[in-house]
A and B are shown apart, each in its own frame.
Chain A
Amino acid sequence: GAVVSQHPSWVICKSGTSVKIECRSLDFQATTMFWYRQFPKQSLMLMATSNEGSKATYEQGVEKDKFLINHASLTLSTLTVTSAHPEDSSFYICSGQIWGAEETQYFGPGTRLLVL
């Protein structure tokens, strides 16, 4: 149980284009979803917290206009990297949290983004 999927698993795009990454909770309702990014050999860095039906809360230093997050339903959150640049190349991971069980997060498999 508590499976989270991400799509696509990897994407290559040209600089200046936008990329959308989907995060779905397959067998539970995720009242809260988190988006992380990870650079090679570094920690998972929280980018933003999204609650279903409301605006995402971004961590300090994360540009909300560049990383658009939508949490339209209890099973789907999307992250759109707008006007991507090579420095946005990273591994993006989402996680879902079940209401009433906030002590645990269930992670997706991640999306590898490469911006050329």
Chain B
Amino acid sequence: DQQVKQNSPSLSVQEGRISILNCDYTNSMFDYFLWYKKYPAEGPTFLISISSIKDKNEDGRFTVFLNKSAKHLSLHIVPSQPGDSAVYFCAASGWGKFQFGAGTQVVVTP
């Protein structure tokens, strides 16, 4: 039972434009949400997180939005850079465990 879903397996965006990645979850008990970036054959690296008591968190080019009523979160990257090309996983945390989405492959084109 997939409790965290990323319905877009891939996203292509032009350099300098905004990348918007979406993530939906089903379990209302999740209280912390994170985004990870992953390159092939490497472990995920932490990008940004948000607690369920907030609806927005910003860190440089990365902003995460949380809509609890819709059980939806999104990651905005602006401006997108070629080095942002990677797979992005959203994760939801509850009871100390993480559930991951299937990932979205982002390709930033010149």
Contact = CB atoms under 8 A, between A and B. Distances in A.
B49 A110 contact: no
A42 B89 CA distance: 10
Interface stretch (B57-65, B67-75, B99-107): B99-107
B41 interface: yes
Interface residues of B, number: 24
Contacts, number: 57
B100 A43 contact: yes
Contact of B43 (A41, A43, A45, A109): A109
Contact of A43 (B51, B96, B103): B103
B28 interface: no
Interface residues of A, number: 26
Nearest to A110: B43
Interface string A41-81: 11111100100000000000000000000000000000000
Interface in B49-96: 49, 51, 89, 93, 96
29 contacts: A34-B97, A41-B9, A42-B103, A43-B2, A43-B89, A43-B100, A43-B101, A43-B102, A45-B100, A46-B97, A46-B98, A46-B99, A91-B41, A93-B44, A95-B43, A102-B93, A102-B96, A103-B32, A103-B34, A103-B49, A103-B51, A103-B93, A104-B46, A104-B49, A105-B98, A107-B36, A107-B46, A109-B42, A110-B42
